[in-house]
Chains A and B, each alone.
Chain A
Amino acid sequence: MSLDYIAAQVFNGLASGAYYALLALGLSIIFGTLRVINFSHGAMYMLGAFGAYYGAQVIGLPFWAALIVIPIAVGIFGMVLEWFVLRRVAQNDPIYGLLLTFAITLVIVNVMTLLAGTLGSPYAIPDALSGATNLGFTYFPTYKLFVIAVSLGVCIAAWLVIDRSLLGARIRASIEAPALVRAFGVDTPRLVTITFGIGVAIAALAGVLAAPTTNVLPTMGDEIIIYTFAIVVIGGLGSITGSIVAGFLLGLLQAIGAVYYPPIATTLIFIVMVLIIWMRPSGLLGRPESTR
């Protein structure tokens, strides 16, 4: 086994970590403000991929446009869902939010199955991103490099917005003390809806990015959502930086693990999660007081 092969696997790992990071980031943002673990996050990812696919099939929507339009469309769908449905369980035990979004997932996935069938549909990589790029030591698919770059860009942008902007300050404040933020005259319900929309839009963006590399299937979100759950547990539930770091780290670990023992790729993330719970229950970057 050559070092070049390991190095190529590092990039493969970063590429799958790019999807995990995007999904975990959205899930974390939503959990932070809404106190709901969005089970339907995987379904939103799937809707993103189908949006890109049908966009291209029906109106010839180019990939570059899909990258912008589809996340906005799915984000609006998410905001409608939050405003009319999820809102009703916001005041209850977070468990009911999980159960409700689980029910929503079943409905979305099954409606998609009725519309699209169970056979996967291919989606072409745009010409500009097809082929391979010379990394010096190996040739690597250009598209995967693009995915890593987009994911990093979105994660940094999200971090900047949350850490530096007024919207971010309000989001952070309403995580800490929602009642106080309301008392200062901030429209928290609207803030929550916007955050849910942003989180869901990021999931849909991951779906658009995934469309050219996998079969677009109604069930494509089923497995990735559980990996995402494990990743946010590892990163520390509610910690946005933790989610991003854990996303890339676990993608990397998965790819490196697969070099030595290929079947471990499917379970390594869960094994790491078990070890983390054992040694550091609040997660890598989670705060201990939020452990329960």
Chain B
Amino acid sequence: MSARTVLFALVAIAALILPRVIYPILAMDILCFALLALALDLLFGFAGLLSFGQAMFLGGSAYTTAILVQDYHLDGALAIVAAVLYATLLALAVGMIVVRRSGIYFAMITLAIAQIEYFAAINWSNITGGENGLPMTTRGTLFGLSVSNDVAFYYVVFVAVAICFWLVVRVTNSPFGTVLSAIRQNETRAVALGYRVNRYKLGAFVIAGALSGLAGAFYALANRLAGLEMCDWHTSGAVVMMTVLGGSGTIVGPAIGAAVYELLNYFVSSTALGRETDLVIGLVFAFCILAFRQGIAGGVLSIPWRKTST
């Protein structure tokens, strides 16, 4: 068994007992953000594309879910499908523009495009509820079954998120994933080898968008709310921090990063700092960038756990 498999198993066990240890809604938030950070890891850790706009998928699909469940009384499963569809199509449209650029440009452009959705959400407050957001009186049903119990719903989300992690492992091990890594390492050489680099980048962007959309749907259902702060660029920034803090390119790292971020946020907010938790998180993240760039999982996995015979 490789160290990574062990780490995956440990994280999965921790996730299974999580709702018994902490407030179940917080546990669900961790799962949703783990999924978002996983999507970003596929983009940044593998394709080398730092998206600073993942919140546009989270927010938009949260609104879609809230509207369909609250106003149209649709089954949660259908609302989730619709939300993922929204995020996928949005990722396709946005992706066609942003994959023309890489590196620092990619980050700035995704950040700016996400602001278009944010301002649209403020502007069309008759649809989005503006500053109040869209509260949902009920979580509705999922495949006809009631999911009002927080712990039960947590395990539904857990299974879905676990499948997504497995999918991303499969994607990164596929020839497609290998090309993504090649693009990260040397885009010019990948082009020279005859790969249609932009199509691969678009593929990664769309998969990441779909995963982020799923996270948004679950996030809305878990909190029974879709709101402006989900489209806010601070949320995009938080996802970036979770991914890098946990260890980008490790797949399991983003889950650890999401848990560390959310728990840190939770505990710091109960201190004298109150809502200014970003002060501590910013310092931790700055330290991470300066001294610990491979992140938590990257650090754990770089330790030679077994003596290798030479």
On A, residues with C-beta under 8 Å from B are 37, 85, 88-89, 93-96, 98-100, 102-107, 109-111, 113-114, 222-223, 226, 229-230, 232-233, 237, 263, 266-267, 269-271, 273-274, 277-278, 281, 291-292
Interface residues of B, dominant DSSP: helix
**Cβ B97 vs Cβ A88 within 8 A:** no
Interface residues of A, dominant DSSP: helix
**Cβ B100 vs Cβ A277 within 8 A:** yes
**Cβ B105 vs Cβ A274 within 8 A:** no
**Cβ A94 vs Cβ B240 within 8 A:** no
**Cβ A37 vs Cβ B290 within 8 A:** no
Show 14 residue pairs from A and B whose CB-CB distance is below 8 angstroms, ordered by the A residue: A37-B108, A94-B104, A103-B286, A106-B282, A107-B282, A114-B273, A229-B111, A230-B108, A232-B108, A267-B119, A273-B113, A277-B100, A281-B100, A292-B188
**Cβ B119 vs Cβ A278 within 8 A:** no
Contacts of A110 in B (CB 8 A): 276-279, 282
Q: How far is the CA of A164 from the CA of B123 in the complex (A)?
A: 47
Q: Report the minimum CB–CB distance from A125 to chain B (whole Å).
A: 29
Closest residue on chain A to residue B281 by CB atoms: A106
B116 within 8 Å of A (CB atoms): yes
**Cβ A292 vs Cβ B187 within 8 A:** yes
With A237-B105, A292-B103 given, is the CB distance from A103 to B112 under 8 Å?
Answer: no
Contact of A100 among B116, B240, B278, B286 (CB under 8 A): B286
Contacts of B237 in A (CB 8 A): 102, 106
Q: Report the minimum CB–CB distance from A121 to chain B (whole Å).
A: 18
**Cβ A109 vs Cβ B278 within 8 A:** yes
Contacts of B281 in A (CB 8 A): 106
With A102-B237, A107-B279, A292-B101 given, is the CB distance from A270 to B286 under 8 Å?
Answer: no
**Cβ B104 vs Cβ A274 within 8 A:** no
Closest residue on chain B to residue A271 by CB atoms: B116
Contact of B107 among A95, A113, A223, A267 (CB under 8 A): A95
